[in-house]
C-alpha cells in the first residue's frame, strides 16, 4: 500500500492547482478524478467558461510553477465596469468604472479560458516526479485515523495519506465521506456561457450589465482573428436560459446584443453555448479528521465579481502555508483546526455578500431597479468606500 503525503480528489482547475502547488513544495501527491481532463477547446465536453485570476492568486500560481507559462495567454482586467440598464429600455442609465490604478500598479487580475488552464496545469504535473495524476479513476471511500487516512479508489487501489483534500465539486464525495453537511441556496437561475467577437475594443474592461434576472457579464479575452473578443456569462431565470439555448445563432446573437445594452456593439458568437445551474452553497465546516475541503467542495457562489475560483485559491494558499510552515504536522488536528478557523468565517462572509449582490441583480420591478441604480451611483461617489470595496474584492479584509 502506497504511503503519500497528500491525496487530492478532483481534477478540475482547483484540484490540479492544489496538486501542482503541493508537488512544487516537495510533498508527495496522488490526484485522482473519474473524468480525464479535457485540454482542447474543440473537444466534446470542453469547459468553455473563463476564470479571472485576481492579484492574490498570481503568487499562488507562481508557487505552483504555472504562472510564467500562463501569462502569454492572459487578458488583463484593468477596469471593472458596472452598468445599470434597468430603465424602461435596455440602455445604460448609470455607468461606473472601478479602476485598478486607484489601488495598485497592477490590473485587478488576468482572464483565462478554463480548458487552457487545465492544459497548462496537466503539463506542469507531468514535470513533477513526486505527483501521480490518475485521470479516469475516482475516490471511493476513506477510513481516517488520528495519524493517517486510508483511501480507496474506484480501481480498488489503496493508499495511506497524511492529508486528504476534497476538491471534487459541489457534490463532493470526500465531503460526504467525512460526514460534513452543506447548506444550499437555489435561485431558479441558470447561466449561459459563451464567447463573442464584437466591433468595439474592450480596452481590458470587464463589464457587468444589470437589468433583471441576473447580470450579463463581458470579460476580456485576447483578440480572435484580429477581432476584439470577450467571454460572456448571462444569468437569468432557468426557463429563459433554456429558451435562449434553443434559439438559432442569429436570434441568440440579437437577444444577447440587446441584453448587453450595446456596450461593445453587435455581438457575434465565436463558439458553442453552454448552460450551468446557479446556486450558493456553504459547507458546515472545512475540515474533518485528516481531511480538508477547498473550492466548490467547501463553497459555491454565483459567478459575480470573479469570486469563485479566487476564493478557492485563497483556501489553497492558506492550506499550503500551514503545511510548509509545519511539515511535520501535515494533516494533523491542530493544522486542520487552524485552516478552518482562518478560512471558514471569511468564506461565509463572501458567500453572503455574493448572495446579496445576486439578489440585487435579479430585481425585476421598476422600483427595485431604481434603488439598485441609486445604490451603484452612491457607492461609487464615496472615494474611500470605492477603494475599500475594490480591495475587498481582491481578497483583502475590510
User: Nearest-5° angle of CA 344, CA 132, CA 290?
Assistant: 35
Please give the pLDDT value at position 391.
52
Taking the domains of the chain in order of start, what are their residue ranges?
A: 2-35+120-184+282-358, 71-111+187-277+365-394
Residues 52-97 pLDDT 10s: 888 878 899 999 999 999 988 888 888 888 888 766 666 767 777 8
Q: Which CATH architecture has domain 71-111+187-277+365-394?
A: 2-Layer Sandwich (3.30)
Q: Which CATH architecture has domain 2-35+120-184+282-358?
A: 3-Layer(bba) Sandwich (3.50)
Please give the pLDDT value at position 224.
85
Please give the pLDDT value at position 39.
64
Q: Reading across the β-sheet that carries 75-77, which strands appear in turn?
A: 50-54, 109-113, 75-77
Residue 253 main-chain phi, psi, to 5 deg: -60, -40
CB-CB neighbours of 382 under 10 Å? 11
Q: Single out the residue of 222, 184, 181, 182 nearest to residue 204, CA to CA.
A: 222
- Return per-residue pLDDT of the chain as tens, 398 residues: 789 999 999 999 999 999 999 999 999 999 999 988 776 666 666 666 778 888 878 899 999 999 999 988 888 888 888 888 766 666 767 777 878 777 778 788 888 888 888 889 999 999 999 999 999 999 999 999 999 999 999 999 999 999 999 999 999 999 999 999 999 999 999 999 999 999 999 998 889 898 878 889 998 888 888 999 999 999 999 999 999 999 999 999 999 999 999 999 999 998 889 999 999 999 999 999 999 999 999 999 998 876 778 899 999 999 999 999 999 999 999 999 999 999 999 999 889 888 887 887 776 555 555 555 555 555 445 454 344 444 555 454 43
Please give the pLDDT value at position 390.
44
Amino acid at each position: 500500500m502506497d504511503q503519500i503525503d497528500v491525496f487530492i480528489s478532483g481534477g478540475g482547475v482547483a484540484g490540479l492547482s492544489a496538486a501542482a502547488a503541493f508537488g512544487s513544495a516537495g510533498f508527495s501527491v496522488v490526484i485522482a478524478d473519474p473524468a480525464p481532463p479535457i485540454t482542447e477547446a474543440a473537444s466534446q465536453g470542453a469547459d468553455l467558461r473563463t476564470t479571472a485570476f485576481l492579484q492574490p492568486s498570481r503568487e499562488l500560481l507562481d508557487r505552483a510553477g504555472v504562472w510564467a507559462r500562463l501569462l502569454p495567454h492572459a487578458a488583463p482586467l484593468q477596469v471593472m465596469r458596472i452598468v445599470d440598464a434597468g430603465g424602461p429600455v435596455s440602455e445604460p442609465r448609470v455607468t461606473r468604472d472601478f479602476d485598478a490604478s486607484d489601488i495598485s500598479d497592477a490590473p485587478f487580475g488576468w482572464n483565462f479560458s478554463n480548458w487552457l488552464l487545465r492544459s497548462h496545469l496537466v503539463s506542469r504535473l507531468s514535470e513533477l516526479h513526486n505527483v501521480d495524476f490518475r485521470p479516469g479513476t475516482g475516490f471511493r471511500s476513506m477510513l481516517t485515523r488520528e495519524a493517517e487516512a486510508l483511501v480507496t479508489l474506484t480501481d480498488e487501489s489503496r493508499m495511506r495519506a497524511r492529508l486528504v483534500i476534497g476538491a471534487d465539486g459541489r457534490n463532493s464525495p470526500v465531503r460526504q465521506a467525512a460526514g460534513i453537511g452543506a447548506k444550499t441556496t437555489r435561485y431558479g437561475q441558470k447561466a449561459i456561457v459563451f464567447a463573442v467577437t464584437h466591433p468595439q475594443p474592450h480596452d481590458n474592461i470587464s463589464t457587468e450589465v444589470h437589468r433583471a434576472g441576473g447580470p450579463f457579464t463581458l470579460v476580456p479575452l485576447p483578440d480572435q482573428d484580429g477581432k476584439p473578443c470577450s467571454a460572456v456569462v448571462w444569468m437569468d431565470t432557468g426557463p429563459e436560459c433554456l429558451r435562449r439555448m434553443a434559439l438559432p445563432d442569429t436570434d441568440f446573437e440579437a437577444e444577447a446584443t440587446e441584453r448587453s445594452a450595446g456596450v461593445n456593439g453587435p455581438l457575434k458568437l465565436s463558439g458553442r453555448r453552454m448552460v450551468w445551474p446557479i446556486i450558493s452553497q456553504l459547507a458546515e465546516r472545512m475540515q474533518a479528521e485528516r481531511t480538508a475541503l477547498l473550492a466548490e467542495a467547501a463553497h459555491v457562489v454565483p459567478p459575480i465579481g470573479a469570486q469563485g475560483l479566487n476564493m478557492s485559491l485563497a483556501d489553497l494558499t492558506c492550506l499550503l502555508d500551514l503545511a510548509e510552515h509545519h511539515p511535520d504536522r501535515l494533516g494533523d488536528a491542530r493544522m486542520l483546526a487552524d485552516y478552518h478557523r482562518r478560512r471558514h468565517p471569511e468564506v461565509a462572509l463572501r458567500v453572503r455578500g455574493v448572495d446579496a449582490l445576486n439578489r440585487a441583480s435579479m430585481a425585476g420591478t421598476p422600483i427595485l431597479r431604481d434603488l439598485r441604480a441609486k445604490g451603484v451611483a452612491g457607492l461609487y461617489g464615496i472615494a474611500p468606500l470605492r477603494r475599500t470595496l475594490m480591495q475587498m474584492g481582491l481578497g483583502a479584509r475590510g
